[in-house]
Structures are given as C-alpha cells and as structure tokens.
C-alpha cells in the first residue's frame, strides 16, 4: 500500500514497513497498490547488460575469475584436535611445508620451501615490473613463478630462483633457449576461467615490446588459439611431452595444466601422457581477459575438482608420485590447508598475488571512479589503464608498481599464507602440511559435502556416500 | 661422416650425442640409419651440423631446430620442424599435419605434399612445398613465407596475420580475412630466392600471392560473423 505519486522503489520488507508506518502517521487516504517489484530474472544488472549489448554489439570482455558465488573452501571447516587426536605445539613443534615437484621422470625435480606457487600470468597482460615483483617475492619466500602467454622476460628469469616455462597453444615467444633456461615446463591445455577458450590481448596493450615478443604488428587485437597447433588428443600429447623431454635431456619436470571440467578423466589422461605434475585450475581462477559469459558459465569450481583428480591419481597408484597443484580462488592459509587436506600437493595463486602487489587497492579509488568502476570491482584489465600499474603496458602507469616493494609485499603475503596453513595443520596434529587429510574436514553445506566428499558438519554423511 | 644406428642405440643416446656437438665440433656430418618412423628424432639441435636421416620419421623430427641442416630421406610424420628457429630441414617425401608449425625462422622444404595445417601459426619460418598442402594451412600465420607449388586445400590462410602465401596451383577456398594480393616485383624476387634455395624448378610468375586483408585486426561488430 503506497500513496500514489510518491513511492520509493524498494523490495526490502523492512523498508516497506517503515514506509507504511510513516504514511499512517500522515493520516492520509490510502489507495491500495502493489509495491514496485524488481524482477529476480531481469534484475537491474542484467538489464544494464542487455542495454550495453544493444548499444555496442559486442560481448563483455573482462579479466578476473568467476564473480558469482560458488561452493568454495569457505564451506568447509577443520575439526581440529580432540581427545582422540592431539595437537602440536604452535611455536615449538615442527610443521613442515616443503614440497618436491616432478619426482616421476625429471632428473632435476623442483624443491620448494612452501606449497604455494605463483601461477602463470603473461607478460603483456602484466607489466614487466610486475613480473619482476612476482619473481622477487616468490624467490624470497622459497617458491616458484611461472611465465605465461607471451614468452619469458629477462626480468622474471633473473628474479625467479625457480621459473616454470609455459608451452601454450599460441607459442608466442616460444624458443628452445628459454626452454633450456627454465626450471620446469608447463604444457597448458586449459585454464579454469575459460576451459576450451584461447587468450586475447587487445590492441591497447600491444606495445612495441609485446608485439616484438609475439611476432605481431603493434596495436592489433591478438588472439591466442585455444588448441595446440601441433597435436590433438592424449596420444599426441604423450609424443609432445617426449619431444620436450628429449630437447631438455629429461632434466626438467613437465607439468600439464588443465581447466576444471572433467577432472577425473583429464588427470588420468595427463598422467598417461607422461606428466610429472598436474595443475588443475577451477572456475574462480583469474584470467587476463576473456568473455564474461565464458568466465561465469563454463567450468567447475575448484572445490568440485580436487577429489575426482585425487581419485584418478589413487586409482592409478600415482597419488604423491605425480604431484597435483590446484588453483582458482586461493586467498588464505585456510584455503591452502583445505586444498592440501583434500589431496593436493600444492596450490597456485594468481589473483591473490596481484592483490598483494596492489591490484584494486582502495587508495586508487578516485581513479577507479574515473574509469566507471570502484576498487574491488575493477576488472577491465584488458584495457591497459590499471591505476595500480599492474595490468598495463603504459610506461607511466607501470611506474606505480615498484618491483622491490611489490616483491616484499608478496613475500609477506606468502609467509602469512604459510603460517596460517601451519597453524591449522598443528591444530589438527600434523607435522607436515601434507599430513592433512579429508578426515580433518567437515562441510557446512550439502553442496560442499557432495563436492569435497567430506561429511556434513555434525553428521557422518555426505551426498553420494555409500550410494545415497 | 658419423653413422648412428637408431634401432640399436636408441633415441635418448641419439639426441644426447647430437646435443653434445657445438660450434667447434669436427663431427659435422651425421648419418642416422634405421629411423623406422621414430618420434622426436634430432630435436633441439643447436650446432652447425648436417644430419641425414635415412628413412621416414615419426612426430616432430627436427623440432625446435637451431643452426643444423637436417635432411630426411623419406617422409616425415606430424609436426616436422615445429617451432624451428634457424637452419634447414629438407623432406624428400611427404609431410604429415602441422609441418613447420609455429616456426620462427630457417627453411623447411617438403619435396612432396604436406598435409593439413602446414605452417600453422608460423612466426617467421620459410616453407616451400613441392606438391600440395591440405586444409587450414597457414592458419593464424604471423610472418614468414609459405610457397606451395601445387594446390592448396580449404580455408587457406584463415585468420592470417602478416605471413605471405604463394600458391602456383588452385586454392580450394580462402579462410577468413585471407585475400589474393597483387604480385609486385619485390614479391617475385622473394619467391625466386626461396625456390632457388629449395632447389625447386618453378617459375615465380606462375604463382599467385595471398595475404591478410587485415579486417580482423581490431574487433568490429560488422565482422562478428567472421570471428
Ligand atoms: C592477469 C592474469 C593473467 C593470466 N595469464 C595466464 C597465462 O598466460 N597462462 C595461463 O595458463 N594462465 C594464466 N592465468 C591464469 C593463472 O595461471 C591461474 O590459473 C589463475 O590465476 C589461478 O586462480 P586465481 O587467480 O584465483 O589465483 C592468468 C591469470 C591472471 C589473473
């Protein structure tokens, strides 16, 4: 019930009650009328997107990962110690965090102090100083960084003690010299943000240096293929991996990176093809740029991927023999601990590393506003105007990201993630992060219980257990 | 001349031995016998040596080659000379799919036919094919030259960037954004040089040139159907 001509648009029950009370006080005559009701289906953001599409004729392109809420590590809890399990003393009893990657075939496996690696992010998407900062931070924290779609830059090679070199469908900048200079090789089949999709780097970001590294004219939209140019299917992949091993004298671990789609089968096939390490990326995982519709509607949340992948490894007798790195929305030490408890050997971070360096920092709020957005929501990374100077090739903006300071911040953040994960592991009585196990976990929701295959809190049951 | 019997000594030893050669090596001539279609033969070479493979090869022969001249006296499996940087690879017979894929430099000569996706994503390599090439050849080709003395299959040069394509015979169809272009004197010169280096006796004047219309270089809604 509202007085005609003076209603406010609201769907909130409380606000409606207040309006009605106020009107009663005014003792006016009421005309019965429904409150204007927004549609759940055709919400304001949806309608705005329809109008934007109608205006421009092009889909929305953006960076980042899925923004919708999906079942995630937040929906899991650790049980901690009790009478039946005793905890370890926080500061005195050891909780090891080291991990070795590539023990299956490589002559020189990668030894890391912490099970948290920096994910592949391309030079082109990120500025040169940002790549340097990632290298500095990761090296100081005893972990590895990864190149990306665009080749290896001297900055990142020099500043990364351990650098993983990606072999992507585009093969931009791919060359045997860098291959031999790498500490490990990652064959990228897919990414969680866009499984089945290629990359794009729009003209605004194709500077002279980026163009040269990619053998492309300056200023054009650069599309990276979604399939590898010289192999199709798992049998070919096996031969491709053989070739890479032969070129590098069987020294370097070979990772295979897959997007979260059919984790059981993809893990099986990657192992069959000869992978030393499987990297599995869920739909929350960031990307430099792709269609919003792709990010939000294709692929599985990482929570749904880990158990099937671990199952595949166990079914082949390869769990811990072939290491599993998972990524997609890792933010805290709790996320790290949960991923490891579900069976991963390590995790990888992209977005969180960028945030640690200063991405979306409220201190740039005025500039975000000028770009029509706000801190926390800025995702037009493909436009190259990043106020934080991270996802840009603009020489002026780049200066805002000091690689030494950025490296220090990233190192701090990685240390905090590690300390948090150790805190949890000790509370569960574990002397190594890898001793965490699904039995240490319970789920807060039915969905999370089903995906993580751990009991719903307070029960011994999860959907699918024993056929129910 | 060093002879290496792949059947008895194995792939690992072969590549290791070839990798051990450097700019000052005296062992500049290598003869590989019994290749029997093995994969990854003579990959990742980086020395000015000549390697002759007596027979046909499997996948990725001479992959990522630098400096070396590799001569396959037979046919080559998929991805021959993939991502080559420099040097040369000559195939006396036919080549399977993705010949010269993503190559950055050097010369790949296929005396017979090449299958589909020849020169896919090429980034500066020169490829000369004596016979025909299959469908989707030079897909997303970025730079370098692809010379086809016979016919080309469907969708030649789809989503092409700056690579130059020369075809003497028929082109079944052109891919998105690939068009025929005027053959100017400078192109005839490039072509004559490539044919000569490949040892193929063809007249440059008989070829047509194809290249990118550059309409897909920046997104435009009117071209949406081509994406
Ligand atoms: C800016 C940016 C660039 C990326 N570039 C690549 C790339 O070149 N190759 C690749 O395999 N993944 C790329 N990714 C995905 C990351 O490797 C990783 O899978 C993802 O960021 C992990 O999820 P998270 O961002 O939630 O931590 C990129 C991600 C971001 C945020």
pLDDT score recorded for residue A28:
59
Nearest Cα residue in chain A from B78: A230
pLDDT score recorded for residue A12:
47
A323 lines ligand 1 (CB under 6 A): no
ipTM score of the complex? 0.97
Q: Where are the domains of chain B?
A: 2-215
pLDDT score recorded for residue A207:
86
What whole-number percentage of chain A has pLDDT above 70? 93
pLDDT score recorded for residue A24:
53
Q: Which of A230, A234, A235 has the most B C-beta neighbours within 10 Å, making it the best mutation to test the interface with B? A: A230
**Separation of A241 CA from ligand 1 center, angstroms?**
22
* DSSP secondary structure code for residue B173 in this structure: -
The dihedral region occupied by B199, where left means phi > 0, alpha psi between -120 and 50, and beta the remainder, is left
3-state class (DSSP) for residue A278: strand
What whole-number percentage of chain B has pLDDT above 70? 97
Q: What are phi and psi of A164, to 5 degrees?
A: -95, 130
For a substitution probing ligand 1, which of A302, A350, A382 has the most ligand atoms within 8 Å of its CB? A350
> Region A372-385: what's the mean pLDDT?
96
Please answer whether residues B103 and B124 qualify as being in contact, where contact means their C-beta atoms are separated by less than 8 angstroms: yes
Closest approach of B144 to chain A, Cα-based (Å)? 10
Interface of B with A in 185-204 (CB under 8 A): none
> Region A216-234: what's the mean pLDDT?
90
Query: Could B78 and A246 be called an inter-chain contact, meaning their C-beta atoms sit closer than 8 Å?
Result: no
pLDDT tens, residue by residue, B71-128: 999 999 999 999 999 999 999 999 999 999 999 999 999 999 999 999 999 999 999 9
> Region A113-125: what's the mean pLDDT?
96
Question: For chain B, what is the radius of gyration of the CA atoms?
Answer: 18
pLDDT score recorded for residue A23:
52
Q: Which residue has the tokens 């990297």?
A: A279
Kind of pairing between the strands at A99-101 and A110-112? antiparallel
Of A58, A216, A231, the CB nearest to B161: A216
**Separation of B135 CA from ligand 1 center, angstroms?**
33
Which is more confidently placed, B155 or B223? B155
pLDDT tens, residue by residue, A394-410: 999 999 999 999 999 99
Distance (Å, rounded) from C-alpha B68 to C-alpha B74? 18
On whether any CB of chain A is under 8 Å from the CB of B210, the answer is no
**What Å distances lie between residue A54 and A49, A58, A60, B221, CA to CA?**
8, 8, 12, 11
Question: For all residues of chain A together, what is the average pLDDT?
Answer: 92
Query: Could A220 and B101 be called an inter-chain contact, meaning their C-beta atoms sit closer than 8 Å?
Result: no
A285-319 burial: b if 16+ Cβ within 10 Å, else e: bbbbbbbbebbbebbbbbbbbbbbbbbbbeeeebb
Distance (Å, rounded) from C-alpha B46 to C-alpha B70? 12
The answer for residues whose C-beta is within 8 angstroms of residue A260's C-beta and 6 or more apart is A192, A195, A280, A281, A282, A283, A299, A300, A301, A302, A304, A305, A328
Interface of A with B in 244-283 (CB under 8 A): 246-250
For residue A11, is pLDDT > 50?
Answer: no
**What Å distances lie between residue A207 and A61, A133, A172, A393, CA to CA?**
20, 20, 15, 7
Residue A286 Cα: closest atom of ligand 1: 25
Closest approach of B167 to chain A, Cα-based (Å)? 22
Please answer whether residues B154 and B222 qualify as being in contact, where contact means their C-beta atoms are separated by less than 8 angstroms: no
What does the block give as tokens for A84? 């039946």
For residue A8, is pLDDT > 80?
Answer: no
On whether any CB of chain A is under 8 Å from the CB of B111, the answer is no
* Of the candidate ranges A56-70, A197-211, B181-195, the one whose mean pLDDT is the lowest: A197-211
On whether any CB of chain B is under 8 Å from the CB of A54, the answer is no
Residue B226's pLDDT band, with cuts at 50, 70 and 90, is: low
Distance (Å, rounded) from C-alpha A228 to C-alpha A169? 4
Q: Which of A174, A221, A242, A246 has the most B C-beta neighbours within 10 Å, making it the best mutation to test the interface with B? A: A246
Helices (H), A150-302: 154-159, 176-181, 208-214, 233-247, 263-272, 292-297
Q: Whose CA is nearest to atom 9 of ligand 1?
A: A148
Neighboring chain B residues of A170 at a CB cutoff of 8 Å: 121
On whether any CB of chain A is under 8 Å from the CB of B126, the answer is no
A351 lines ligand 1 (CB under 6 A): yes
For residue A129, is pLDDT > 60?
Answer: yes
* pTM: predicted TM-score of the whole model, two decimal places: 0.94
**What Å distances lie between residue B73 and B32, B106, B126, CA to CA?**
10, 19, 20
For residue A16, is pLDDT > 70?
Answer: no
A281 lines ligand 1 (CB under 6 A): yes
* Count of H-run helices and E-run strands, chain A: 16, 16
Query: Could B159 and A223 be called an inter-chain contact, meaning their C-beta atoms sit closer than 8 Å?
Result: yes
**Separation of A148 CA from ligand 1 center, angstroms?**
8
Distance (Å, rounded) from C-alpha A256 to C-alpha B208? 42
Of A176, A217, A239, the CB nearest to B44: A176
Query: Could A249 and B58 be called an inter-chain contact, meaning their C-beta atoms sit closer than 8 Å?
Result: no
Closest approach of B204 to chain A, Cα-based (Å)? 27
* CB atoms inside a 10 Å sphere around CB B226: 13
State the distance between the two ends of chain A, measured CA to CA, in whole angstroms.
48
H or E stretch covering A448: helix A446-452
Query: Could A216 and B19 be called an inter-chain contact, meaning their C-beta atoms sit closer than 8 Å?
Result: no
Domains, chain A: 66-452 (3.20.20.70)
Nearest to A107 by CA among B186, B16, B5: B16
pLDDT tens, residue by residue, A253-282: 999 999 999 999 999 999 999 999 999 999
3-state class (DSSP) for residue A309: helix
> Region B144-168: what's the mean pLDDT?
97
The CATH class of B2-215 is mainly beta
Q: How far, in whole angstroms, is CA B95 from its chain's centroid?
A: 9
Neighboring chain B residues of A217 at a CB cutoff of 8 Å: 161-162, 217
H or E stretch covering B70: strand B69-72
Q: Which residue has the tokens 């700056």?
A: B162
Residue B225's pLDDT band, with cuts at 50, 70 and 90, is: low
Residue A5's pLDDT band, with cuts at 50, 70 and 90, is: very low
**Separation of A349 CA from ligand 1 center, angstroms?**
8
Q: What are phi and psi of A243, to 5 degrees?
A: -60, -45
Please answer whether residues B189 and B170 qualify as being in contact, where contact means their C-beta atoms are separated by less than 8 angstroms: no
Distance (Å, rounded) from C-alpha B102 to C-alpha B63? 10
């Amino acid at each position: 019930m509202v007085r005609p001509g003076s209603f406010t648009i609201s769907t909130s029950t409380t606000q409606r009650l207040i309006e009605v009370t106020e009107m009663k006080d005014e003792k006016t005559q009421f005309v019965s009328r429904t409150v204007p009701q927004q549609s759940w289906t055709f919400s304001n953001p949806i309608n705005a997107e329809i109008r934007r599409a109608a205006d421009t004729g092009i889909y929305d392109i953006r960076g980042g990962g899925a923004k919708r809420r999906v079942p995630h590590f937040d929906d899991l809890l650790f049980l901690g110690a009790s009478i039946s399990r005793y905890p370890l003393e926080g500061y005195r009893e050891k909780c090891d965090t080291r991990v070795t990657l590539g023990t299956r075939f490589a002559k020189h496996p990668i030894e890391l102090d912490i099970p948290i690696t920096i994910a592949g992010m391309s030079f082109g998407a990120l500025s040169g100083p940002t790549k340097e900062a990632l290298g500095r931070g990761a090296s100081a924290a005893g972990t590895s960084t990864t190149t990306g779609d665009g080749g290896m830059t001297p900055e990142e090679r020099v500043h990364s003690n351990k650098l993983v070199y990606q072999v992507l469908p585009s093969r931009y900048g791919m060359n045997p010299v860098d291959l031999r200079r790498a500490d490990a090789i990652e064959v990228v089949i897919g990414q969680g943000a866009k499984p089945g999709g290629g990359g794009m780097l729009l003209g605004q970001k194709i500077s002279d240096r980026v163009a040269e590294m990619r053998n492309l004219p300056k200023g054009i939209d650069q599309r990276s293929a979604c399939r590898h140019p010289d192999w199709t299917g798992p049998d070919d992949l096996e031969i491709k991996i053989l070739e890479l091993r032969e070129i590098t004298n069987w020294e370097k671990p070979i990772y295979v990176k897959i997007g979260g789609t059919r984790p059981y089968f993809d893990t099986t096939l990657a192992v069959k093809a000869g992978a030393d390490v499987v990297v599995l990326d869920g739909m929350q995982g960031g990307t430099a740029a792709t269609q919003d519709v792709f990010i939000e509607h294709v692929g599985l949340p990482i929570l749904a991927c880990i158990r099937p992948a671990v199952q595949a490894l166990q079914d082949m007798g390869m769990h811990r023999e072939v290491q599993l790195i998972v990524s997609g929305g890792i933010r805290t030490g709790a996320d790290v601990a949960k991923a490891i408890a579900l069976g991963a050997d390590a995790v990888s971070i992209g977005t969180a590393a960028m945030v640690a360096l200063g991405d979306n920092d409220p201190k740039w709020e005025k500039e975000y506003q000028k770009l029509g957005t706000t801190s926390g929501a800025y995702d037009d990374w493909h436009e190259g105007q990043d106020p934080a100077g991270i996802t840009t090739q603009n020489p002026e903006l780049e200066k805002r990201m000091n690689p030494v300071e950025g490296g220090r911040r990233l190192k701090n953040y990685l240390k905090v993630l590690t300390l948090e994960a150790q805190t949890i592991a000790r509370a569960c009585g574990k002397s190594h992060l890898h001793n965490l196990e699904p039995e240490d976990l319970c789920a807060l929701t039915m969905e999370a219980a089903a995906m993580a295959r751990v009991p719903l809190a307070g029960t011994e049951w999860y959907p699918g257990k024993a056929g129910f | 001349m060093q002879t290496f019997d792949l059947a008895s000594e194995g792939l690992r030893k072969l590549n290791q031995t070839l990798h051990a050669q450097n700019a000052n090596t005296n062992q500049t001539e290598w003869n590989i016998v019994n290749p029997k279609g093995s994969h990854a033969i003579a990959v990742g070479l980086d020395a000015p040596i000549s390697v002759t493979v007596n027979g046909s090869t499997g996948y990725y022969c001479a992959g990522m080659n630098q400096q070396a001249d590799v001569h396959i006296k037979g046919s080559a499996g998929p991805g021959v000379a993939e991502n080559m940087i420099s040097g040369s690879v000559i195939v006396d017979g036919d080549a399977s799919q993705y010949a010269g894929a993503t190559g950055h430099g050097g010369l790949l000569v296929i005396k017979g036919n090449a299958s589909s996706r020849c020169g896919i994503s090429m980034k500066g390599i020169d490829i000369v094919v004596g016979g025909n090439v299959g469908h989707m050849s030079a897909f997303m080709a970025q730079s370098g030259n692809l010379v086809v003395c016979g016919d080309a299959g469907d969708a030649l040069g789809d989503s092409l960037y700056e690579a130059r394509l020369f075809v003497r015979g028929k082109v079944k169809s052109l891919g998105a954004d690939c068009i025929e272009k005027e053959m100017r004197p400078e192109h005839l010169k490039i072509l004559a040089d490539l044919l000569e280096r490949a040892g193929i006796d063809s007249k440059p004047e008989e070829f047509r040139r194809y290249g990118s219309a550059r309409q897909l270089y920046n997104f435009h809604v009117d071209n949406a159907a081509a994406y």
